[in-house]
A = this chain, B = another copy of it.
């Protein structure tokens, strides 16, 4: 990529960014869009525009608001997990900023002023374009200036260690503060018990759990909820809820029709398939009758479930936090495969269908899933290649003859011919995060947050291995495959020449990511359009409208691996092509700003894991650092730097640092320290409320339904 196309690409991204910013500034002031730009505030019952006092609506007010918001605001509006995400963003921003302050002036000067003979590549052009002159490729082999590169490797590593250490401490404080809070959080009084052994004396699981825990905790044991097989009862419950919604909708339609005609037209529908065939009935009457039918049926089903469908798992409640925290950390039975006790997740993020899985089932599932993920990451190109090979136009014609008329249109054929091979890959990449989340849940993990962490970890390996290493090493090898065949020794030469070239590619990639990505993120064009379409054509009741604008959460499972990719790329090229550092810094700095706005005003977290994501991010930042150090080792080798061994201590330091951090901090992220749990509460907990909050909605007819409950 030469300099002019680099500038073109950068300029295009920037223009898109500016347009999206302007769109945002204009759209977000319209009251009708408030539900898209301020849903988090609206759901918390606040005035959407409360931050900007004047109604003049300065289009850049959000920037001021974002900067003036404190960490406590974030915790209050969006929980500890979001605050931890900002710690991540600011830490990485800090790493790039402090590294850049030293690396940029030093290395750029050294690279640009190196005098080396003009190298001409195979096509006769100068091998170094303007950008490449600023990279390490421009340094002489075995030159003394390579010492500066080596020293900067140490600088980057030490900055990373220092900031990560500070960040881990800070996150640990955040977590402690949240867990110590005097407010009553139901999950702090509960533990999740799995692998309850089957009793021989014909006791029910409920009796077993009660007698077991009452013996151990005679004073602090409160009650238990035995996990039940809720499939049947949930089906009835959903049907009932559906009927209630439909009655509400039919009544609104009837009410609206009264405005036109004073008698009104009672809405009707057909009972058959999709409302198209069958007997025509009065909707309000029909659904009301169905509700009166279903209500006793639900109650009966609930009773049957409670009695006969008990599974070997339970939620156990204690009357104080210390006992619950200590219980979650103690072995209750002599064998690890019975009476496994862990911290209870929040009710809203419990994965009920996973709770009954036994210890051995979980172990086996885990290894099977690891194997599937390994195979997917390493060999995903094979099935995709096969699919694209088979979905050629002639094959499609043969296999799906009814598509023939469409395929015969020339323009369709041209487009399909060009894109068909990529479609399988695009579909795969779009579905992969969901597939990984599905696999993580299939491991038998009991909570949504844990499953997302697991999925995020898997996605990280996929992205780093395939995108980063694939593009860097694979691209280089593939490009020069023929040369290498002729002359195998040239491979190191090729790598040396192409690594800095790849840097330019990644530079534009990072820029595209933050300009277009953050532009779309902030302006929320896509959710806005979908919302307006839905409201116009689908929504009848207030509930429907609310459902149409309800925002999602931050989506850590895909967001963090993507950030990690940028982090890995920037770190790895930081010394080779230091020009990437400001781009990386802007990615994380701008990200901090944009997400500060989004978190305070838009996204509603689906769960709170009290920063359990952090150790996971910490380890992956260190993995990226290790990859950087390995890359540098390799690149110094390629540059025939005689003192390459002075880099050897770096990877060892990283491993020791990672070990020390995990030893020092990690245990508190696994379980709650008793010191923290023993802080006084502001009031005696009402245990009945704590207990009820864990009952799934389909088992409790009087309860408000929780959308997030995964039954």
The answer for the CA separation of A664 and B359 in the assembled complex, in Å, is 10
- Beta-carbon contacts of A445-489 to B below 8 Å, as 1s and 0s? 000000000000000000000000000000000000000000000
Residues of B within 8 A of A664 (CB): 335-337
Residues of B within 8 A of A336 (CB): 663-668
State which residues 674-689 of A face B: CB under 8 Å: 674-678
Residues of B within 8 A of A631 (CB): none
A84, chain B: closest CB distance, angstroms: 15
Residues of B within 8 A of A374 (CB): none
In contact, A333 and B675 (Cβ under 8 angstroms): yes
The answer for the CA separation of A102 and B558 in the assembled complex, in Å, is 59
Asked if A322 is at the interface (CB within 8 A of a chain B CB), the reply is: yes
Residues of B within 8 A of A330 (CB): 325-326, 329-330, 671, 674
Determine chain A's interface SS by DSSP, over half rule: helix
In contact, B329 and A673 (Cβ under 8 angstroms): no
State which residues 339-356 of A face B: CB under 8 Å: 339
Residues of B within 8 A of A331 (CB): 329, 667-668, 671-674
Per a CB cutoff under 8 Å, which of B322, B334, B668 touches A675?
B334
The answer for the CA separation of A226 and B176 in the assembled complex, in Å, is 28
A121, chain B: closest CB distance, angstroms: 50
Per assembly, the copies of the chain total 2
State which residues 382-440 of A face B: CB under 8 Å: none
State which residues 127-157 of A face B: CB under 8 Å: none
In contact, B665 and A335 (Cβ under 8 angstroms): yes
Residues of B within 8 A of A332 (CB): 673-675
Q: Given that A329-B329, A339-B675 are contacting pairs, would A668 and B215 also be in contact in the complex, using a CB cutoff of 8 Å? A: no
A439, chain B: closest CB distance, angstroms: 23
Asked if A327 is at the interface (CB within 8 A of a chain B CB), the reply is: yes
Asked if A172 is at the interface (CB within 8 A of a chain B CB), the reply is: yes
A323, chain B: closest CB distance, angstroms: 8
The answer for the CA separation of A331 and B325 in the assembled complex, in Å, is 9
In contact, B322 and A216 (Cβ under 8 angstroms): yes
Asked if A505 is at the interface (CB within 8 A of a chain B CB), the reply is: no
Asked if A219 is at the interface (CB within 8 A of a chain B CB), the reply is: yes
Asked if A212 is at the interface (CB within 8 A of a chain B CB), the reply is: yes
Residues of B within 8 A of A673 (CB): 331-334
Residues of B within 8 A of A215 (CB): 678
Q: Given that A327-B326, A329-B329, A339-B675 are contacting pairs, would A334 and B172 also be in contact in the complex, using a CB cutoff of 8 Å? A: yes
A347, chain B: closest CB distance, angstroms: 24
Residues of B within 8 A of A172 (CB): 334-335
Residues of B within 8 A of A334 (CB): 172, 176, 668, 673, 675-676
The answer for the CA separation of A27 and B171 in the assembled complex, in Å, is 72
The answer for the CA separation of A647 and B219 in the assembled complex, in Å, is 56
- Beta-carbon contacts of A238-264 to B below 8 Å, as 1s and 0s? 000000000000000000000000000
A677, chain B: closest CB distance, angstroms: 8
State which residues 651-673 of A face B: CB under 8 Å: 663-668, 671-673
Residues of B within 8 A of A322 (CB): 216-217
Residues of B within 8 A of A663 (CB): 336
The answer for the CA separation of A674 and B216 in the assembled complex, in Å, is 7
Considering the complex, give the chain B residue whose CB is closest to the CB of A668: B334
Given contacts A325-B330, A334-B668, A336-B666, 8 further A-B contacts (CB under 8 A): A176-B334, A326-B326, A326-B330, A331-B671, A331-B672, A331-B673, A336-B663, A337-B664
Name 10 interchain pairs, CB-CB below 8 A, sorted by A. Answer: A216-B677, A326-B326, A326-B330, A327-B674, A330-B330, A331-B672, A333-B673, A336-B667, A337-B664, A339-B675
Interface residues, chain A, with chain B CB atoms under 8 Å away: 172, 176, 212, 215-217, 219, 322, 325-327, 329-337, 339, 663-668, 671-678
Q: Which 9 pairs, one residue from A and one from B, show the smallest C-beta to C-beta distance?
A: A216-B678, A334-B668, A329-B330, A326-B326, A326-B330, A334-B673, A331-B673, A332-B674, A216-B674
